[in-house]
């Protein structure tokens, strides 16, 4: 097998090798395929950091499929988890504290529940993101009895489970590892199981008023069968129990879960010592392995009012999904992604990196990293990989064009074609590509671009601008106007003329440019001048300069 350079391909090789050498996993995969799994509690708006995890799992499943393996990615909504703190600004939901999210009404009409609303707010975006995932509800799985065997094993081995908690946390763990849903008040966060009868398979429990600070139980006590959704396992035990129950082969998570002594440590101990199941990649029976790193996205404009920072559901209103997916796919999971589109050139450089990767993929640019970059390009696509290289247009140049033209795409495309920046005619795919880049440039200019990238072409030279000019600047402007009237010129000819004029007048280069920008844009700076003049048209520029 050829050596792979791309991280997901290397991980896929490791996963396959592990399965093929494991007598428990091999028959499971033969029957069920490579099951790649992730889970999320739908308690509210979901941060883009979780989105990074979903893209990682999607890419791992795709890398396994690229090896001819039967692999699928499933994301489960942990909707049996209870609401465990008051919702900011929504006191009417306080009465649901302690109730599983799937049994709380949706805050917005048209959804089955609170859980349904917040889960779909994120997952309805999956097609746009190119994330191929099956969706499940952990609550449904409890109700179907998927976890019943694991629940039985856990309760029959409650002493071993307790010992694991006590060993890792070095403090007594007195409860039975199961939380019934109170038959009277429907709360799950307030119940405590006090006794397990393994013959009758019944759990005795109490719904306590003072078990937790954030919710008040009703005082009911009862005896129930723990199966078919009558309750749930505590989180770390549940995590371990899902693995044999769902036959999970791959499941990573954010590195905060992977600290020594954290939830992954407990889960891998329970999976291997109690449930006798090899914990999913990247963990082994004794080692957590690495979780994925944080995805820090800056930019106040993108943050939600609900305090989650930048949300997965809304980030694409600000940054195109293709470039976000590219960003995630191109970074190894154990590298921090620190991205702020309003910081210096973050967004420009990211686009340039995308465009370079595209050129390498289509063989238009040489690179020693061709194999890796080509895989990044393929896996960054949210749909099919283009059959031929799209007409490239850098974000910076697109930004200049949209600031000259304004809102009209057709006019911008006509200008780009006149300049020879893009082919004429455009294929339908090429046309869509250019429009997408123009839209991205408009968002960039509107929301993130630093002042030095912004400008407004003046309809006429203002009194104020004229008053600021030195005699030398005015003379230089007139000389440039005379030259432009003799056009058309090439960009190089105009560029050479700048320096000839500066010597003749004489005037310092910096003063010359400042004066011309002031006349054209009403500010002392702007995009590359020769290119700007050709984009605006030599006649139009000459007309403005002549009024200096
Ligand atoms: Zn109760």
Instruction: Quickly tell me which residue has 């019944």 as its tokens.
Output: 202
Q: Which residues surround ligand 1, an ion (CB under 5 A)?
A: 182, 184-185, 207, 217-218, 220
What six digits make up the tokens of 140? 């449904």
Q: Which of 186, 201, 232 is the last residue of a domain?
A: 232
The pLDDT of residue 304 is 61
Mean pLDDT of 267-275: 98
**Cis upstream peptide for 69 (omega within 30°):** no
Task: State which of 4-8, 68-72, 444-448 shows the largest mean pLDDT.
Answer: 68-72
For residue 202, what are the β-bridge partners?
197
The pLDDT of residue 379 is 97
- Please tell me what DSSP assigns to residue 145: T
Can you give the residue range of the structural domain that contains 403?
Answer: 395-453
The pLDDT of residue 306 is 61
Query: Is 422 inside any structural domain?
Result: yes
Q: Is the pLDDT assigned to residue 307 strictly greater than 70?
A: no
Q: Is the pLDDT assigned to residue 168 strictly greater than 80?
A: yes
Q: Which of 184, 203, 232 is the last residue of a domain?
A: 232
Distance 90 CA to ligand 1 centre (A): 23
Query: Is 424 inside any structural domain?
Result: yes
Query: Is 239 inside any structural domain?
Result: no
Q: Residues, the chain, total? A: 548
User: What does the buried/exposed string (b/e) look like for 303-333 if buried means 16 or more CB atoms within 10 Å of the residue's CB?
Assistant: eeeeebbbbbbebbebbbebbbbbbbbbbeb
> Are 300 and 321 contained in the same domain?
yes
Nearest by Cα to 235 from 191, 275, 178, 174:
178
- Which sign does the torsion angle of CA 307, 312, 316, 322 carry? positive
The pLDDT of residue 343 is 84
Distance 214 CA to ligand 1 centre (A): 14
> Are 502 and 438 contained in the same domain?
no
Distance 198 CA to ligand 1 centre (A): 24
Q: At what angle do helices 529-536 and 491-504 cross, to 10 degrees?
A: 120
Distance 217 CA to ligand 1 centre (A): 5
Distance 462 CA to ligand 1 centre (A): 75
> Are 407 and 491 contained in the same domain?
no
> Are 226 and 158 contained in the same domain?
yes
pLDDT confidence tier of residue 174, bands split at 50, 70 and 90? confident
Q: Is the pLDDT assigned to residue 3 strictly greater than 80?
A: no
Query: Is 300 inside any structural domain?
Result: yes
Distance 99 CA to ligand 1 centre (A): 10
Distance 216 CA to ligand 1 centre (A): 8
Q: Percent of the chain having pLDDT more than 90?
A: 90
Distance 169 CA to ligand 1 centre (A): 29
Measured distance CA(465)–CA(526) in Å, rounded: 15
Query: Is 52 inside any structural domain?
Result: yes
Query: Is 504 inside any structural domain?
Result: yes
Contacts of 175 (CB under 8 A, 6+ apart): 192, 193
Where residue 529 sits, what CATH number does that domain have? Answer: 1.10.10.350
Q: Which of 181, 198, 232 is the last residue of a domain?
A: 232
> Are 136 and 227 contained in the same domain?
no
HEC letters along 173-233: CCCCCCEECCCCCCCCCCEEEEEEECCCCEEEEEECCCCCCCCCCCCCEEEECCCCCCEEC
> Are 138 and 169 contained in the same domain?
no
The pLDDT of residue 303 is 65
Q: In 444-470, which residue ranges form alpha helices assigned H by DSSP?
A: 463-468
> Are 137 and 2 contained in the same domain?
yes
Query: Is 186 inside any structural domain?
Result: yes
Distance 219 CA to ligand 1 centre (A): 6
Measured distance CA(398)–CA(416) in Å, rounded: 9
Distance 174 CA to ligand 1 centre (A): 21
Three-state secondary structure call for residue 292:
strand
pLDDT confidence tier of residue 33, bands split at 50, 70 and 90? very high
pLDDT confidence tier of residue 415, bands split at 50, 70 and 90? very high
> Are 444 and 468 contained in the same domain?
no
**What's the domain count of the chain?**
4
Mean pLDDT of 24-34: 98
> Are 409 and 373 contained in the same domain?
no
The pLDDT of residue 342 is 85
Nearest by Cα to 217 from 344, 364, 82:
82
> Are 127 and 160 contained in the same domain?
no
Q: Is the pLDDT assigned to residue 23 strictly greater than 60?
A: yes
- Please tell me what DSSP assigns to residue 79: T
Query: Is 15 inside any structural domain?
Result: yes
Distance 40 CA to ligand 1 centre (A): 26
**CA-based radius of gyration for the chain:** 31
> Are 376 and 444 contained in the same domain?
no
The pLDDT of residue 385 is 94
Measured distance CA(144)–CA(454) in Å, rounded: 58
> Are 13 and 127 contained in the same domain?
yes
Where residue 309 sits, what CATH number does that domain have? Answer: 3.40.50
């Amino acid at each position: 097998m050829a050596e792979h350079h791309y991280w997901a391909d290397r991980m896929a090789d490791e996963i396959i090798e592990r399965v093929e050498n494991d007598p428990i996993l091999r028959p499971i995969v033969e029957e069920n395929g490579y099951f790649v799994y992730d889970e999320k509690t739908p308690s509210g708006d979901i941060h883009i950091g979780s989105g990074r995890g979903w893209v990682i799992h999607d890419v791992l499943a795709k890398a396994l499929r690229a090896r001819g393996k039967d692999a699928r990615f499933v994301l489960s909504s942990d909707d049996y988890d209870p609401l465990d703190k008051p919702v900011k600004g929504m006191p009417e939901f306080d009465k649901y504290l302690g109730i599983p999210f799937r049994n709380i009404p949706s805050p917005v009409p048209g959804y089955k529940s609170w859980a349904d609303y917040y889960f779909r707010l994120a997952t309805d975006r999956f097609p746009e993101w190119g994330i191929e995932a099956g969706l499940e509800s952990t609550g449904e799985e409890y109700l179907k009895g998927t976890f019943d065997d694991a629940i039985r094993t856990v309760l029959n081995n409650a002493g071993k489970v307790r010992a694991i908690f006590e060993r890792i946390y070095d403090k007594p763990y007195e409860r039975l590892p199961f939380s019934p849903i109170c038959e009277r008040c429907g709360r799950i966060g307030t119940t405590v199981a006090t006794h397990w009868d393994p013959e009758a398979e019944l759990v005795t429990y109490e719904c306590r008023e003072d078990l937790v600070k954030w919710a008040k139980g009703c005082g009911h006590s009862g005896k129930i069968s723990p199966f078919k959704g009558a309750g749930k396992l505590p989180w770390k035990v549940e995590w371990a129990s899902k693995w044999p129950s769902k036959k999970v082969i791959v499941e990573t998570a954010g590195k905060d879960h992977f600290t020594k002594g954290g939830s992954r440590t407990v889960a891998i101990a329970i999976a291997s010592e109690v449930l006798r199941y090899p914990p999913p990649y990247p963990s082994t029976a004794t080692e957590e392995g690495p979780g994925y790193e944080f995805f820090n996205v800056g930019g106040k404009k993108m943050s939600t009012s609900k305090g989650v920072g930048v949300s997965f559901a809304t980030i694409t209103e600000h940054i195109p999904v293709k470039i976000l997916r590219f960003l995630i796919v191109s970074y190894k999971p154990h590298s921090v992604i620190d991205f702020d589109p309003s910081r210096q050139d973050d967004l420009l450089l990211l686009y340039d990196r995308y465009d370079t990767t595209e050129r390498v993929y289509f063989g238009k640019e040489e690179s020693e990293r061709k194999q890796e970059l080509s895989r990044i390009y393929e896996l960054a696509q949210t749909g099919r990989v283009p059959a031929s290289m799209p007409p490239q247009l850098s974000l910076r140049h697109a930004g200049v064009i949209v600031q000259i033209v304004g809102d009209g795409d057709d006019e911008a495309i006509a200008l780009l074609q006149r300049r020879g920046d893009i082919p004429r005619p455009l294929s339908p795919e090429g046309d869509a590509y250019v429009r997408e880049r123009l839209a991205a440039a408009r968002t960039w200019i509107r929301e993130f671009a630093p002042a030095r990238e912004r400008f407004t072409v003046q309809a006429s030279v203002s009194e104020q601008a004229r008053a600021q000019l030195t005699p030398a600047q005015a003379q230089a402007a007139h000389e440039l106007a005379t030259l432009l009237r003799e056009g058309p010129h090439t960009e190089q000819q105009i560029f050479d003329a700048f320096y000839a004029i500066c010597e003749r007048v004489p005037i310092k280069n910096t003063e010359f440019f400042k004066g011309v920008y002031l006349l054209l844009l009403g500010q002392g700076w702007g995009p590359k001048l020769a290119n700007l003049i050709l984009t605006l048209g030599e006649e139009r520029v000459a007309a403005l300069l002549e009024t200096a």
